[in-house]
A and B are shown apart, each in its own frame.
Chain A
Amino acid sequence: MNVSLPAAAFVAVLGLLGIGLYGLLVTRSLIRVIVALQILVKGAMVALLLAGRLSGQIQTGQSLALTVIVADTIVAVVALSLAVQVRRHFGTLDVQSLTTLRR
């Protein structure tokens, strides 16, 4: 079965976005939420590059993807630090148990 590269990349984008969204909806662990966010952002990066390839502006697509990689890495670092502190202070990573705002 011959599938073109843009079609395969489009399927990858939809799949990554769907799996990342699924992870965000069903997971209870704070660190797995960060994993799901990482998967979502990978879908967005591939979408940027696919758009660059289809429009003939791949270098512009690359520069945008580079910005996304940097921002995503910083978000992962800060989020993991938050998760570590949450674990230290509340003793759990379960997002449904973190209910201090209700007290």
Chain B
Amino acid sequence: MSYLLITAVILVCSLRAIRTGRLLISALWLAGASAAVAVLMYMLGAPEVAVIELSVGAGLVTVLFVFAINIAGDDPLPRRPAIPKPLSWVLIAGSLALLGWLTLSALRLPPPVPEASRFAEVVWERRTLDVLLQVVLIFGGVLAVLGLLHEPDRGTAKENRS
């Protein structure tokens, strides 16, 4: 029963995040969905990733959204959707039906062999390349953001024009 409840909370929060009018409220619903996903991750037996998802997904990303929305503004946009809604529902239903059919037919897995490793051992010893790539991604992201948000010096711009 609790599994159904947490799934319902995830889906309701996600749907409200898409359908609500104001961007700030949408970011808050997304934070609620992230927190519920973290609880589901804990139930699936992944406590380490659940904590990281809670702090990064529900915490850091929400702060970033609030920051960006405050700078960019929350102006109302026309309600007319980019694609007609009936067409979008058909496309989504078709995609999910195909995904569900393909996944269910592949779920005849052999009996699971319990993994003896710990999370730290898997991350630091078996997937060291993943960790290095994450570090490179983080540095690349920081450089990208610095480049995107850089404002040219007005004095230099005037000199270049003259």
CB-contacts of B52-77 with A (<8 A): 52-53, 56-57, 60-61, 64-65, 67-69, 71-73, 75, 77
As a 0/1 sequence over residues 28 to 61 of chain A, the CB contacts with chain B under 8 angstroms (1 = contact) are: 1101101110110010011001101111111111
Interface residues of B, count at CB 8 A: 82
Say what secondary structure dominates the interface of chain B: helix
Whether B18 contacts A22 by the Cβ 8 Å rule is yes
Residues of A near B53 (CB, < 8 A) are: 45, 65, 69
Whether B4 contacts A39 by the Cβ 8 Å rule is no
Whether A12 contacts B123 by the Cβ 8 Å rule is no
Give the interface residue-count category, chain A.
35 or more
Whether B3 contacts A70 by the Cβ 8 Å rule is no
Question: With the chains together, A43 CA to B90 CA distance in Å?
Answer: 20
CB-contacts of A53-99 with B (<8 A): 53-67, 69-71, 73-74, 76-78, 80-85, 87, 92-96
Residues of B near A29 (CB, < 8 A) are: 23, 77
Residue in A12, A21, A67, A69 whose beta carbon sits within 8 Å of that of B95 in the complex: A21
Residue in B23, B64, B81, B95 whose beta carbon sits within 8 Å of that of A77 in the complex: B64
B1 at the interface (CB under 8 A from A): yes
Whether B148 contacts A85 by the Cβ 8 Å rule is yes
7 A–B contacts from the bound complex (CB under 8 Å): A25-B81, A26-B88, A39-B14, A53-B45, A55-B112, A62-B119, A81-B149
Residues of A within 8 A of B (CB): 1-5, 7-12, 14-23, 25-29, 31-32, 34-36, 38-39, 42, 45-46, 49-50, 52-67, 69-71, 73-74, 76-78, 80-85, 87, 92-96
